[in-house]
Structure 1
Amino acid sequence: MRLPDSIDSVGEACAHVLMTPDPVAKLMAARAVARNWRLGRLAHRFDAAMPDRPARPEKPELLPPNRMPKRGRIGSERARIAMLHALAHIEFVAIDLAFDLIGRFGGEFPPEFTDEWMRVGADEAMHFALLDRRLRQLGSHYGALPAHDGLWQAASETAHDALARLAIVPMVLEARALDITPATIERFEGAGDEASARMLRRIMTDEIRHVAAGTTWFRHATKRLGVDPANHYQILVKRHFRGSVKPPFNDSARRQAGLTREFYTSLAQ
């Protein structure tokens, strides 16, 4: 997919991804934007406003989290499809989260910030493509089931503050995925679905890098402000995260990402 010739800045390109509703078109746009940036075709200019909400396809139906149907035991193919669909929706929204982060806050950071988050955005597009392909192998597809509409809430809550966005999205939400994915992989393996388990292992490896990107740039920004990173993280999480930071924690994976225990253990007490 080629970007429209009129798009020549990072800001315009990120807005283009966010305003593309069709899932396949969105992942292709994400890949095209990341490639154009890598090839030097986009100016490091932030001249487009990011939308309050991204464009969304007609399906899946978006429901409040408390209205989502129960998935049941993962041993059944139906339950595995429901789990994979939920993960595909997370990755679909993650595409928008990555490009919104760049387009909304990239001007506050050096170009290396855009380098890193473009790679993250391309990863999220690839993850979505893998999950949708696996759903199709199982006779389903993204959009066949409802999905919950709580994921964008974190973006809305932190739309005014780059540090808050880094704290909540990569350093809370994606870090939580590091905690729970190993058990999910084990359940797929126990159900004999090695193809899905192998795919989730690959995605988790990338997610460690994404949490590391969030932690690295959070530390960069707090150093510039002259504040303690762990303490400031805790302040922002208490202020902006509506859920709870709770164990069990995958301390090993978090440590690989630079998110060490002094950041989060006190939040769980």
Structure 2
Amino acid sequence: MSLPPSVTSVGAACAHVMLTADPQAKLMAARAVARAWRLGRLAHRFDATMPDRPARPDTPILLSPAHMPRRGKIGSERARIAMLHALAHIEFVAIDLAFDLIGRFGDQFPPDFTSEWMKVGADEAMHFALLDRRLRQLGSHYGALPAHDGLWQAAEETAGDALARLAIVPMVLEARALDITPATVDRFEGAGDMASGKMLRRIVDDEIRHVAAGTNWFVWATKRMGIESPKYYQMLVKRHFRGSVKPPFNDSARRQAGLTEEFYAALAT
């Protein structure tokens, strides 16, 4: 997929991804933008306004988290499809989160920030493609079930503060995925679904790098500000995160990402 001729800057490219509604077209746009940046075809210029909300397809129907139907035990194929659909939606939204982060805040960071988050955006597109393909192998597809809109609420909450966005999205929400995905893998494999388990292992390995990207740039920025990273992180989480930071924690994976206990232990509930 090639980009429209008018898309010549990083800002315009990020807005292009976000304003693409169709899932297949969005993942192709994400890949095309990441490739264009890698090949030096986009100016490091932030001349486009990021939309308040990304474009969305007609399906899935979006519900509040409280109104989502229960998935049931993972032993049934129906429950596994529901879980894979929920994960596919997370990855679909994560495409927009990565490109919104670049387009909204990239001018506050050096070009390496754009390079790293372009890779993250391409990863999220690949994860979505893997999950949607697995759903189709099981006789379903993305959009067949309702999904919740909680992830984008976190983006709206942190739209005015780059460090709050880094603290909440990669360092809380994606870090939580490091905590819970290994047990999810075990449940899939325990039900005999080895293909899904293998796919989820691949995804969680990538997510360690994504949490590391968030943590490293958060620390970079706070050091430049002359403030203590863990304490500032804790303040931002208390201010902007509506949920709770709760164990059990995958301390090993978090350490690999640079998100050590001094960041989150004081927040644990």
Is 1:236 the counterpart of 2:236? The answer is yes
Q: CA RMSD in A?
A: 0.4
Is 1:189 the counterpart of 2:172? The answer is no
The whole-number CA distance in structure 2 between the counterparts of 1:23 and 1:10 is 21
Aligned equivalent of 1:3: 3
The whole-number CA distance in structure 2 between the counterparts of 1:59 and 1:97 is 19
Per-residue deviation, 1:254:
0.1
Q: Which structure 2 residue ranges, 5 or more long, are not aligned?
A: none
Give SS of 2:151's match.
coil
The amino acid of 2:116's aligned partner reads E
Per-residue deviation, 1:150:
1.1
Q: Residues 5-50 of structure 1, C-alpha deviation per residue, up to 9 Å, x if partnerless?
A: 1110000000000000000000000000000000000000000000
Listed as ranges, the matches of 1:1-269 within 5 Å are 1-269=1-269
Per-residue deviation, 1:149:
1.1
Q: Across the two proteins, how many residue pairs are aligned to each other?
A: 269
For normalisation by structure 2, the TM-score amounts to 1.00
The amino acid of 1:85's aligned partner reads H
The amino acid of 2:149's aligned partner reads D
Q: Residues 177-220 of structure 1, C-alpha deviation per residue, up to 9 Å, x if partnerless?
A: 00000000000010000000000000000000000000000000
The whole-number CA distance in structure 2 between the counterparts of 1:224 and 1:107 is 15
The whole-number CA distance in structure 2 between the counterparts of 1:245 and 1:178 is 13
The whole-number CA distance in structure 1 between the counterparts of 2:109 and 2:150 is 28
The whole-number CA distance in structure 1 between the counterparts of 2:64 and 2:205 is 30
State, as a whole percentage, how many aligned pairs show the same letter.
82
Give SS of 2:150's match.
coil
Q: Residues 97-126 of structure 1, C-alpha deviation per residue, up to 9 Å, x if partnerless?
A: 000000000000000000000000000000
For normalisation by structure 1, the TM-score amounts to 1.00
Q: Residues 81-103 of structure 1, C-alpha deviation per residue, up to 9 Å, x if partnerless?
A: 00000000000000000000000
Give SS of 2:75's match.
coil
The whole-number CA distance in structure 2 between the counterparts of 1:149 and 1:111 is 31
Per-residue deviation, 1:151:
1.1
The whole-number CA distance in structure 1 between the counterparts of 2:91 and 2:193 is 20
Q: Which structure 1 residue ranges, 5 or more long, are not aligned?
A: none
The whole-number CA distance in structure 2 between the counterparts of 1:156 and 1:149 is 11
The amino acid of 2:226's aligned partner reads G
The amino acid of 1:106's aligned partner reads G
Q: Residues 117-172 of structure 1, C-alpha deviation per residue, up to 9 Å, x if partnerless?
A: 00000000000000000000000000000001111001000000000000000000
The whole-number CA distance in structure 1 between the counterparts of 2:205 and 2:127 is 11
The whole-number CA distance in structure 1 between the counterparts of 2:151 and 2:175 is 14
Q: Residues 197-247 of structure 1, C-alpha deviation per residue, up to 9 Å, x if partnerless?
A: 000000000000000000000000000100000000000000000000000
Give SS of 1:151's match.
helix
